[in-house]
């Protein structure tokens, strides 16, 4: 079995889920019904990272299945992506009481789970949903979600150095073969932040008669950002294919 292939990734994700499903690392475990670990394609090119599970997610154990999730799924679908092709998770995997913001301690307790998921799925682009996910991934470099939504962050965060190594070495920004015989592994992640769908639902206006969101509102701004994710992914896929061809000839 070649490491980094989808089957290997699926198995690895299952192993980590088994480790985390009874987690008691922070006090969120006291009120939860389910650890909302993550869902989707183990070899996804795009990963979506939200903040924390809400009520419905906690009840059923899957991310983004409530009102916010329904809007996010329709937006993702609207730019031509299939939800099943993405990998979706959150900064913290248990629901905070009354959907309050997760504390620094809770985020820290969940950081190695998030790190391991990113490391295994190894997406080309990470879409952070809302201000907390943006801060978790590009801490110290963000001017806030209003200013940054849709912007591209490359090699984003010390967060990715939690483990400090990959097969013995971390060389940020350097591309070298690791993904198996037919691919390459890039040690640099691209992050594109978008507004949280809960924020869109709260602040934007939707006309039920015309079934349209307000022109120029945060819904449309987010759609433009999601489209830019597609362009970035296509560009990176092309780059990877080129590198794979070069490696084949070596």
The distance of closest approach from Cβ of residue 62 to ligand URA in the complex, given in angstroms and rounded to an integer, is 8
Residues 6+ apart with CB under 8 A from 242: none
- The Cα-based distances of 240 to 9, 95, 171, 212, 243 in angstroms read 19, 37, 17, 38, 5
The helix or strand, by DSSP H or E, that contains position 129, with its residue range, turns out to be strand 125-129
Q: Contact between 106 and ligand URA (CB under 6 A)?
A: no
* Of 52-60, 100-108, 173-181, 206-214: span binding ligand URA (CB under 6 A): 52-60
* Of 20-28, 45-53, 164-172, 174-182: span binding ligand URA (CB under 6 A): 45-53
- The Cα-based distances of 57 to 70, 106, 174 in angstroms read 12, 18, 37
Q: What angle do CA 122, 57, 45 make, to 5 degrees?
A: 20
Residues that contact ligand URA, how many (by CB under 6 A): 13
Q: Contact between 50 and ligand URA (CB under 6 A)?
A: yes
Q: Contact between 219 and ligand URA (CB under 6 A)?
A: no
DSSP 159: G
The distance of closest approach from Cβ of residue 72 to ligand URA in the complex, given in angstroms and rounded to an integer, is 8
Q: Contact between 193 and ligand URA (CB under 6 A)?
A: no
Q: Contact between 90 and ligand URA (CB under 6 A)?
A: yes
244 close to 237: Cβ distance less than 8 angstroms: no
Residues 6+ apart with CB under 8 A from 59: 33, 34
**CA 19 – CA 161 distance, rounded (Å):** 21
**Rg, C-alpha atoms of the chain:** 18
Cβ nearer to ligand URA, comparing 57 with 106: 57
Q: Contact between 40 and ligand URA (CB under 6 A)?
A: no
Q: Which residues of 32-54 are buried (b: 16+ CB within 10 A; e: fewer)?
A: bebbbbbbbbbbbbbbbbbbbbb
Chain residue at closest Cβ approach to ligand URA? 50
Q: Contact between 195 and ligand URA (CB under 6 A)?
A: no
Q: Contact between 69 and ligand URA (CB under 6 A)?
A: yes
Instruction: Give the x/- contact pattern for ligand URA in 128-167, rule: CB under 6 A.
Output: -x--------------------------------------
Q: Contact between 58 and ligand URA (CB under 6 A)?
A: no
Residue with tokens 């999601």: 226
Q: Contact between 68 and ligand URA (CB under 6 A)?
A: yes
Binding site for ligand URA (CB under 6 A): 50-54, 57, 63-64, 66, 68-69, 90, 129
């Amino acid at each position: 079995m070649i490491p980094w292939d989808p089957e290997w990734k699926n198995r690895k994700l299952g192993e980590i889920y088994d480790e985390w499903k009874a987690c008691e690392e922070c006090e969120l475990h006291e009120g939860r019904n389910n650890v909302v670990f993550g869902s989707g394609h183990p070899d996804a090119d795009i990963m979506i990272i939200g903040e924390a599970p809400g009520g419905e997610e906690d009840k059923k154990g899957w991310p983004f299945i409530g009102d916010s999730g329904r809007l996010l799924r329709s937006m993702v679908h609207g730019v031509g992506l299939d939800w099943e092709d993405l990998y979706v998770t959150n900064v913290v995997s248990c629901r905070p009481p009354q959907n309050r913001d997760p504390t620094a301690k809770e985020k820290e307790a969940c950081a190695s789970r998030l790190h391991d998921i990113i490391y295994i799925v190894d997406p080309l682009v990470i879409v952070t949903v809302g201000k907390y996910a943006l801060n978790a991934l590009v801490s110290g470099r963000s001017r806030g979600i209003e200013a940054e939504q849709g912007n591209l962050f490359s090699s984003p965060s010390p967060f990715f150095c939690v483990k400090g190594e990959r097969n013995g070495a971390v060389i940020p920004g350097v591309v070298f073969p690791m993904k198996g015989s037919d691919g390459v592994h890039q040690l640099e992640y691209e992050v594109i932040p978008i507004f949280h769908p809960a924020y869109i639902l709260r602040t934007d206006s939707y006309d039920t008669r015309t079934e349209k969101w307000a022109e120029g509102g945060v819904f449309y701004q987010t759609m433009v950002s999601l489209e830019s994710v597609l362009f970035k992914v296509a560009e990176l896929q092309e780059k990877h294919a080129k590198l794979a061809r070069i490696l084949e000839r070596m």
